[in-house]
Structure 1
Amino acid sequence: MSVLADKIEQFILTKLLEEQEGITVRRNELAETLDCAPSQISYVLSTRFSNDRGFIVQSRRGLGGSITITRILEPQPTHVLIPLQQHLHRRNEEEPQITIGHVDKVLFQHMQEARITKREAAMLHEAFLRILTDVPMEYRKESAERFYEAIMNIVNEEV
């Protein structure tokens, strides 16, 4: 189920990147779009979009029902770079793992600070997604960090 859950999570995160205020979706329509059961949408929302992961999920019943997903943002000073490493998690004391969710959180924060546009965030999301899926595991973390550093150098030149 994790491949399907990853697909659902990616779809929702991409939509969140496109919208500043959050998104409202219909569970049944989303399930139909992603060719899965509505219960799988509920599973992903409850496990990957919780308050402690930085999201507010509200369900509305009746008239087809809808789900509103909003990011909870902690205010960040605009002059501080947000390091990608800050958003990593460790698995059993192994090397920190970078996920597209961590990348999206950083991109979203930069977008909220007006350091990058929505379009740039969407392009960077796709570039990072390619790194995290196409680069062999042993080079993935270094490749993502080097790419992030190069992008932040460009962003800082414009300031």
Structure 2
Amino acid sequence: MRNISDVIEQYLKQVIEKNEQALIEVKRSELANRFDCVPSQINYVIRTRFTEEKGYVVESKRGGGGYIRIIKIEFDHRGDLYDQLIEMIGVSLPQQAAENIILRLLEEEAVTDREAKLMKSVIDREVLTIPLPARDQFRARLMTAMIRTLKYKMSNE
């Protein structure tokens, strides 16, 4: 059985998919009532499942008329996706952020399931057995190199 966080995430993604503008505005309290949970559960889902690495921008306005706006980042050209990911990676990349980027590449159909598994195996902390912060810096260089290779492959097709 799926947990409540998975259910809320699926619901929000379905609503975004149905919306022509790839964005939605929701009220935290209304979502909490809909799923019979506390508003902090909604915060958790949005904070962990709708991140920039996963292709979302979240805006929030607090107060009585407050809302949460979730925007799905879409690109006309796959090269723009690769450029945005490379810029986002920077010089240091924790494992969870790297896994989120790989998941996004998979969801955007920029990599196959097999390629995603290979990428995940390379960036895993059990493979990169060097101390922090060098491990996160090395992971960033590996991810950048893999994404540049994907971009290069795409431009030659």
Normalising by structure 2, we get a TM-score of: 0.49
Normalising by structure 1, we get a TM-score of: 0.49
Q: Which has the larger radius of gyration?
A: 2
